[in-house]
Amino acid sequence: MRSHDLAPTSPECGRADATSVRGRRVTRGAPRRHRVLIAGGGVGGLEAMLALRDLAGDRVAITILSPDAQFSLRAQSVHDAFGGPAPRSYDLPDVCVEHDTAYVRDALVHIAQQEHWVTTRSGRQTSYESLLVTVGARRQPAFFSGATLRGPQDTEAMHGLIQDLEGGYCQSVAFIVPPGVTWPLPLYELALMTAERAYSQCLDVALTLITPEEKPLGVFGAPASEVVCHLLQESGITVRTATNVAEVRNGYVLVRNGDAILRAQRVVAVPILEAPVIRGLLTDAAGFVPVDEHGQVRGASRIWAAGDATSFPLKQAGIAAQQADAAAQSIAARAGAAVVAKPFRPTLRAGLNTGRGVIYLRETVTGEARDSNPTVSSRAFWSPPSKVAAAYLSSYLDEVERRSTG
């Protein structure tokens, strides 16, 4: 089947004859550039684009393929339910133009690995020299009953929950981390911020957090988990760990043997993360993409993957950014840049909003020996102290913010 190029939304976007890109002159007649297709315009995709532009410069011609024309940090959406500022939205085509990158509003559905081309949802096809898959995971409700904390699309539902508490229409809430592939931290934020709001309003409410984790946020290590335990206890939140919730029915929280362990007037859960469906891409038994330490898809010579779509068990934006950096280094080296590709060595970093402030958590998640530095602090372990720790994207978004307010 004959392939043809995806048409960018902006004229000349992604070509070598643009007059300037962020102060860098790009001239006509430049050598042919290595064609990189990034499928996905979230944290991983944008981090990879910024890293590639820094590491490989004009050696690469980048295209971002994404069904969403807007980018925002999903991790910031919890604060919006409490009257905080809504997550800022960034126009993806504009971000791409600023970084000499073509943007195509479409979605990846099929990869022909032998021919090195992809097919999109609209039926378009294009070839690539290097492909980076950063499409994320599908966020599915864990239970038929109750609310799901997925991101900005659920802000109104979370705001309604707080209004019901303040209005006296609700006196009990269960916050549930379901078994399966999840990222629980936003639910801890919602529970702690709800408890703080209830305390400030002198509301008598029963708040319960139920999780299959052995210890609250135990993935961040024992010292951080102990701090989180203390915060939950101090906030009056009942915690049930090592508990696998099977179903929520008429407010009853049921475990696998059918026993009801709790009844709550409102139930909120984080979503189950399911693998994306991309034909032609090697996956594990759960549908996620196995990659090596440089982000290269196992068994594929020109395909990399980063973020929630991969088989790496931790599904967090900061981890996606670290994976994207490793993949970008490997792709830049393949494009001929003088780059030594470093392997992915994950360090988990996060800011936990407690309603009274933010505490910062950090943990090395490899089997290597841990250093003696603290793993929990009132000050960020990274700069700028953004919600998501990303080597390139955090600095860029901070720069955009300063430009808009300066």
What would the pLDDT profile of 289-311 be if each residue is shown by its tens digit?
999 999 999 989 899 999 999 99
Nearest CA to 38 out of 131, 119, 101, 105 is that of 131
User: Given this model, what pLDDT does residue 29 score?
Assistant: 52
* 3-state class (DSSP) for residue 249: strand
Structure pTM?
A: 0.90
- Classified as helix, coil or strand, 346 is coil
**Mean pLDDT throughout 107-136?**
96
Q: What is the pLDDT of residues 390-399, one digit of tens each?
A: 999 999 999 9
Q: Which residues contact 348 (CB under 8 A, 6 or more apart)?
A: 219, 220, 314, 316, 318, 319, 361, 362, 363, 364, 365
Which pLDDT does position 18 carry in this prediction? 37
Q: Which residues pair with 165 in a beta bridge?
A: none
Better-scored residue on pLDDT, 217 or 26 = 217
Rounded to whole angstroms, how far apart are CA atoms 87 and 240? Answer: 31
Q: What is the DSSP string of 103-140?
A: EEE--EEEEETTTTEEEETTS-EEE-SEEEE----EEE
Which residues are paired to 358 by β-bridges? 353
Lowest-confidence range among 149-158, 166-175, 386-395? 149-158
What's the one-letter identity of residue 319?
Answer: I
Please tell me the predicted confidence (pLDDT) of residue 17.
Answer: 37
Q: Percentage of the chain with pLDDT > 90?
A: 77
pLDDT range class, residue 9, cuts 50, 70, 90: very low
pLDDT at 8 over 50: no
What is the percentage of the chain residues whose pLDDT exceeds 70?
Answer: 89
Cβ atoms of residues 134 and 310 within 8 Å: no
Give me the phi and psi of 357, to 5 degrees please. Answer: 155, -175
Q: Structural domains in the chain? A: 20-137+275-334 (3.50.50.60), 141-271 (3.50.50.60), 347-405 (no CATH)
In this prediction, residue 80 carries a pLDDT of: 72
Instruction: Output the CA–CA distances (angstroms, integers) from residue 375 to 230, 234, 247, 363, in the order listed.
Output: 16, 21, 35, 6
Contact 146, 248 (CB under 8 A): yes
